[in-house]
Amino acid sequence: MDTIYNIPKSETVSFRKFLDEFVNELKGTEFPKNDEDVQRLIGMQSKNSEYEKVKSSTSLEMLDSPDDVRVAPYVPGVNEFKRKTAKQNLTNDARLNSLQKLIKEKEASAGSPFIKTRESFKQVHKPVSPENHNLQPYSDVVVSIRFYRPKTDTPLKRRTYPTFSEEFQCLGSNFLSELRDKISCVCNKRRFFELSNNPRVENPEKLSDPGFFFIENTFYNDMRNPTNADYSEVIREWSAKKAKGYEKLRFQTRSMEETRFIDLEVSLGFPQLYQHHGNCEHLFIFSYVELLSKHTCLVRELYPLLKSVNTYNAKFCHMCGKREYAYVVKNSKRQLHDPAYLCSVCFISFHYVNGKKVDEFNAYRLVSYKEKLDDHESYTVEHLEVFDEIEDDLDDEDEPSPSKMIKNEAETAMK
């Protein structure tokens, strides 16, 4: 990783050692719980009047003043102050050509899903009432983990860089498998296969779901399902026989469902790897470790806790730019992008005529055929009915076609 991403590796940190050292420091420390404890610790047991003067003079209320300038806390993605547009900032005395062109450019791109802002991710807040707290402060560590999409080389030889995806906070007592269950990815639902000749066929359900975390030369495999394959086996065999310069390196293997975060020793800020669904890779780093305190979430059931998410994780259709994509098209000479991400409307209307495939391409669907793929079901149904008429070899003749099912749901909703 250090040679690929040019990131120096720092010394490893043991989460268990970090917690034990702090607990040992706390054993000889007394924390005051009330005014009597504070008065005793500062040596004013019998000086009540003097203690009250000291207490009033050091009150936090003394820091407030009605003349103070209001400072609003900045939270990425959550901003109560609306920024003024270029047009609102424009005055009659400063009608510059550069500002006029800027206004026209912004008006032309208004509403486009591809435009980014300075607030590229948002924090997720989970307000919880104190009566639901079931964790004691300083009893555990909280580890922040940030996930990224890895860099790739495009067909035009332009290299993309890792892009932030989402951030979690995990307790030291959490298992690695608990984090894996909360990682979002389009590959989590079903297995994908080529369906351009029959776009109505369903994707097969997952009977197994192998994957691993690669952390500090150790593969943590998900073996909760007995049918899960060990993805790391082929990598370990390759490194032992064919990897030049790494013949002496011996990778370890453990089960993620039996490993807690408190048992790890990691290098903070150094890229690690999560891989599943064959070759679907996610980079992640351990960005921060802190002690569980009264300022952090004290509800065990919420961990691993999603803290922030990239607002650009959802991709839009490459053709219309209005709806989220449902199909991935590859090896098509009629598309500008490869792969191309298309919604169901654009995919069916552009690649099929009277139910027949136009030209050669490969297509993969990310959701179930029977799900509502977008907000334009009526337009989609008109094209799906072509496949319903062609496919007359259904096992059950009484079974309604997918287009009829969507139409029936729409009619029910109208009523």
Specify the pLDDT at position 82. Answer: 52
- Name, in order, each residue with C-beta under 8 angstroms of 158's C-beta and a sequence gap of 6 or more: none
Specify the pLDDT at position 414. Answer: 44
Cα–Cα distance for residue pair 123/240, rounded to 1 Å: 43
Cα–Cα distance for residue pair 211/209, rounded to 1 Å: 7
Q: Is 251 exposed, middle or buried (0-12, 13-18, 19+ CB in 10 A)?
A: middle
Q: Is 191 exposed, middle or buried (0-12, 13-18, 19+ CB in 10 A)?
A: middle
Tokens 């070759």 identify what position? 279
- 3-state DSSP call for residue 327? strand
Residues of the chain with pLDDT under 50: 76-81, 113-114, 117-119, 372-397, 399, 401-403, 405-407, 409-410, 413-415
DSSP classification of residue 118: S
Q: What is the pTM of this model?
A: 0.67
Alpha-carbon torsion angle 221, 223, 226, 232, nearest 10:
10
Specify the pLDDT at position 161. Answer: 72
pLDDT tens figures, 362-374: 998 876 655 544 4
- 3-state DSSP call for residue 155? coil
Q: Domains of the chain (ranges plus CATH)?
A: 2-15+121-310 (3.10.290), 327-414 (no CATH)
Outline where 296-366 has alpha helix (H). Answer: 344-351
- 3-state DSSP call for residue 380? helix
